[in-house]
Amino acid sequence: MEASSQKKVLIVASVVSFIEWFNKENLEFLKNEMNCEVHVACNFDYMDDTDVVRTTAYIEKLKSEGFVLHNIHFARSPFSKANIQAYKKLKAIVDSNHFDLIHCHTPTASMMARLAARKARKNGSKVMYTCHGFHFHNAAPKKNWLLYYPVEKFFSRMCDYIVTINKEDFNRAKTFYCPNVRYIPGVGVDLSKIKNTKVDKNAYKKSIGIPENNIMLLSIGELIERKNHEVIIRALAKLKRDDIYYVICGKGPLKEYLEQLSKSLGVHTVFLGFRNDIPELCNTADISAFPSKIEGLGLAGIEAMAAGVPLVSSNVHGILDYVIDEKTGFTCKPDDIDGFAKAIESLASNVKLRESMHDACLKSVEPFEIHNALNSMWNIYKEILG
């Protein structure tokens, strides 16, 4: 294909970890299968939520393979003054390139991308926004609806496609102004890799500090308020069981607070930080906890269930796409400490109940297998770029 006919695509997200975790295959598809010139705009310096060595190597890989990288220091808060400069830099990139497609992710970066692309849309650029979970949903507090709903609806005027990763958001987005609303089953999980991982549970528990024959309760997610690890710690404190160890994988600003809380409440909590052995940990766990206050879909929940591990989760929108209450685990309101305590107790005290949920967990997550999700996204790319 001649260079003049090569399509140009800009992918926008807040931080590089989001690109690495959720868009790696999409970038490769656009470049290698659709022969596009692919630009990536995000904060390439922020790595507080990832493994620095691995992510640095990933950035170098992108550079060596010819991806065009734009380092923009987006701030997560839309009210941060840092976003003024971030917006100016992003708009300059959009204005100096004719992108056939601008695909944006994460709320603040996506708002700026849609604002920056208003002129570009008039000149033929298509703008697509993938929503990884609206902050307003059936279980959200009223303030979320008052603040976020009008903003998302207003900005829907500024894009040609909205892609949602859960069914509640899909039905909501169809009432917005965007002409094309699509649903994809998340960004995909390599289910076979998790299912086929073999592990000596007792040996693996011992390696992370859990005594033999004790129960491992696993959570995977950043140590931030939205992931809501605190509710599990408080629930375990109510149970007063010395045989349950709460294992958390992830980095984040709440680590010290959660450590102190666990200590003060007498809860066995193991903080593993960022891990590269998630399949092994999922297959070692007896129970998984996923108490997020907001979750677009939640790969961590799907990963645990792919190992046949029952899930104690919040009852928010994305999670409900694959969790079946009393069949694959138990659901609770995000702030229901007593409900989580009861659910954990039910599973911790009944091995047969946990085992009975194994097959239902595997079946429930089948639609989220990585090739199903990727092909859904790639078909949209083909539709837009031809």
Q: What is the mean pLDDT of the chain?
A: 95
CA dihedral of residues 341, 346, 350, 353 (deg, nearest 10): -130
- Residue 137: what pLDDT? 85
Identify the CATH homologous superfamily for domain 191-367. Glycogen Phosphorylase B; (3.40.50.2000)
Averages of pLDDT over runs of 10 residues in the chain (386 residues) are 74 96 96 98 94 96 98 88 94 97 96 97 97 89 93 97 96 97 94 94 96 96 96 97 97 96 98 95 98 93 97 94 96 97 98 97 95 96 96
pLDDT of residue 2: 43
Contact between 104 and 23 under an 8 Å Cβ cutoff? The reply is: no
Query: What distance in Å separates the CA atoms of residue 371 and residue 192, rounded to the nearest whole number?
Result: 11
Contacts 24+ apart (CB under 8 A), 134-141: 134/169, 134/172, 134/173, 134/296, 134/317, 135/107, 135/294, 136/172, 137/168, 137/169, 137/172, 137/294, 137/316, 137/317, 138/168, 138/317, 139/314, 139/315, 139/316, 139/317, 139/333, 139/334, 140/294, 140/316
CA angle 293, 237, 228 (to 5 degrees): 15
How far apart are alpha carbons 311 and 343 in whole angstroms? 9
User: pTM to 2 decimals?
Assistant: 0.88
**What integer pLDDT is reported at residue 77 of this predicted model?**
80
Instruction: Report d(CA 244, CA 268) in Å as an integer.
Output: 7
Asked whether this chain's domains 3-188+370-385 and 191-367 adopt the same fold, the reply is: yes
What pLDDT score was predicted for residue 3? 45
pLDDT of residue 111: 95
Class of domain 3-188+370-385: alpha beta
What is residue 386's predicted lDDT score, i.e. its pLDDT? 87
Residue spans of the domains in the chain: they are 3-188+370-385, 191-367
Shortest CA distance to 164 belongs to which of 182, 139, 145, 176?
182
pLDDT tens digits along 51-68: 999 999 999 999 999 999
CB 298 within 8 Å of CB 318: yes
DSSP string, 47-116: -TTS-HHHHHHHHHHHHHTT-EEEE----SSTT-THHHHHHHHHHHHHHTS--SEEEE-SHHHHHHHHHH
